[in-house]
A and B are shown apart, each in its own frame.
Chain A
Amino acid sequence: MDTWTFGWTLALIGMGGTMLVLWIMSLLILLIRKIFPYRADASATKKG
């Protein structure tokens, strides 16, 4: 593989891949937050 094919391939897949992985990660965070929502009264309920 010549130098420029290598360079452009790595650059394009690298930038696109990084963006894609982090975008999916942001969706995963939203999903986790939905599955495990914050409950202000959680500790109070336990005590009660």
Chain B
Amino acid sequence: METALVSGLQGLFAGIMHLSPGHVIMLGIACLLLYLGIKKGYEPLLLVPIGFGAILVNIPLADLMGKEGFLRFFYDAGVLTEVFPLLIFVGIGAMTDFQPLLENPKIILLGAAGQFGIFLTLLLALGLGFDKLDAVAVAVIGACDGPTAIYVSSKFAPHMLGAVSVAAYSYMSLVPLIQPPIMRALTTDKERQIVMGAAKRQPISKATKIVFPIVVTIFASILAPKGAPLIGTIMLGNLMRESGCVDRLKSASENEITNIVTLLLGLCIGATMEANNFLRAQTLLVLGLGFVAICLDTAVGVLFGKLMCLLTGGKINPLIGAAGISAFPMSARVVQTEGQKYNKKNYLLMHAMSANAGGQIGSVIAASVMLSVLQGMGIVGG
């Protein structure tokens, strides 16, 4: 009887006995993510499930990421197969209006410049000793595009998925704090005051809006076949939106499917944040490099804006270059706010929205080009 009592009590307290300092630290970090999501409103749709997933996976002996754990089931089914980020892309496509881009297509080049941080960060990561594919996964945080970062990371560096995703979503929500100092440092007062005038609303036909996603999918996928899943899913969502004949599918994509997948994806990301995986010096490096990547994106975008300003004889306000990243429409709003600080009559929003829509496509194209070049170099299989 005495032995049975002792064994029973041992079973009851086994969790406490196995609680390591690492678990305690991770539970603290998980609570911090929950705090940032709930109290501060930083990407709550993602940070709340990520934080809770991180709590669940750091409960000793619960083994939720073990062979039969329910988190492992969702991880294997949705993250390892890359299905979750792709489903999110369908939703993003269904929610995105590319009209500003179709009205002003030249601005799409700012969306390319806004991705250069990815490639510059790749060099930094390699310099810091990251393995080739790990460096690719870290660099893609610079896409400033959560699903793209998750897609690439789960493909090439699943062990870093937690750190990469947390960095990508945290910095995206911090864009209003990260971008303005860089924009101010790289532009003169005179440049910031350039009035671009009211954007000429170029009417776009319905046929153009329908043909656009089809043409982009065919053209970009042929040029960068490894990126076809990324381009194809976002454009499928957009085609459903613009065709106007599949409202139920469009509505399901932007609501039910996106909501369910966001919940499961967040939990799965949190589930990769187990103490032994996450508490490494490498995680700090990933967070640091992610920050650098987004700063570089902004800097190159603004510098490219300055170049366009020069080439057009001062008709383009370089500030809109900062909106060439994928954080839509947050980055465009930052540009509008900054522009109005220096000239109250300056309305840069529509121009910045064009650049921002270009950034959304740009991030997907940059990742697609990267994947195809990696395949061409024989670093990843066909």
Report which A residues bind B (CB closer than 8 A): 1, 3-4, 6-15, 17-19, 21-30, 32-33, 35-40, 42
Majority-rule SS of A interface residues: helix
CB distance from A15 to the nearest CB of B (A): 5
Among the listed A9, A18, A27, A42, which residue makes an inter-chain contact with B369, where contact means beta carbons less than 8 Å apart? A18
- With contacts A22-B358, A29-B101, A36-B205 known, is A7 near B135, CB below 8 A? yes
A36 near B211: Cβ-Cβ < 8 Å: yes
> Whole-angstrom distance between the alpha carbons of A14 and B358 in the complex?
17
Residues of A within 8 A of B112 (CB): 18-19, 21-23
- With contacts A18-B112, A21-B224 known, is A9 near B377, CB below 8 A? yes
Closest-by-CB residue of B relative to A36 is B207
B369 near A11: Cβ-Cβ < 8 Å: no
Closest-by-CB residue of B relative to A1 is B377
B377 near A22: Cβ-Cβ < 8 Å: no
> Whole-angstrom distance between the alpha carbons of A21 and B273 in the complex?
36
B204 near A18: Cβ-Cβ < 8 Å: no
Pick from B8-16, B39-47, B212-220 the stretch touching chain A: B212-220
A10 near B377: Cβ-Cβ < 8 Å: yes
Interface residues on B, range: 35 or more
Residues of B within 8 A of A11 (CB): 119-120, 122-123
> Whole-angstrom distance between the alpha carbons of A24 and B219 in the complex?
9
Residues of A within 8 A of B136 (CB): 10
A6 near B369: Cβ-Cβ < 8 Å: no
B366 near A14: Cβ-Cβ < 8 Å: yes
7 closest Cβ contacts across the A-B interface? A36-B207, A26-B105, A29-B105, A11-B119, A38-B203, A17-B369, A22-B112
Closest-by-CB residue of B relative to A23 is B109
Majority-rule SS of B interface residues: helix
Encoded as 1 (CB less than 8 Å from any A CB) or 0, chain B from 216 to 239 comes to: 100110011000000000000000
- With contacts A7-B123, A11-B120, A38-B203 known, is A26 near B106, CB below 8 A? yes
Closest-by-CB residue of B relative to A34 is B208
Question: Is B370 positioned at the interface, with any CB of A under 8 Å from its CB?
Answer: yes
Question: Is B373 positioned at the interface, with any CB of A under 8 Å from its CB?
Answer: yes
Residues of A within 8 A of B207 (CB): 36
Residues of A within 8 A of B204 (CB): 33, 38
B119 near A32: Cβ-Cβ < 8 Å: no
CB distance from B201 to the nearest CB of A (A): 11
Question: Is B361 positioned at the interface, with any CB of A under 8 Å from its CB?
Answer: yes
B102 near A29: Cβ-Cβ < 8 Å: yes
Residues of A within 8 A of B161 (CB): none
Residues of A within 8 A of B122 (CB): 7, 10-11, 14
Closest-by-CB residue of B relative to A9 is B377
Question: Is B168 positioned at the interface, with any CB of A under 8 Å from its CB?
Answer: no
Encoded as 1 (CB less than 8 Å from any A CB) or 0, chain B from 311 to 333 comes to: 00000000000000000000000
A9 near B373: Cβ-Cβ < 8 Å: yes
Closest-by-CB residue of B relative to A43 is B206
Among the listed B202, B220, B374, B379, which residue makes an inter-chain contact with A25, where contact means beta carbons less than 8 Å apart? B220
A28 near B366: Cβ-Cβ < 8 Å: no
Encoded as 1 (CB less than 8 Å from any A CB) or 0, chain B from 45 to 83 comes to: 000000000000000000000000000000000000000
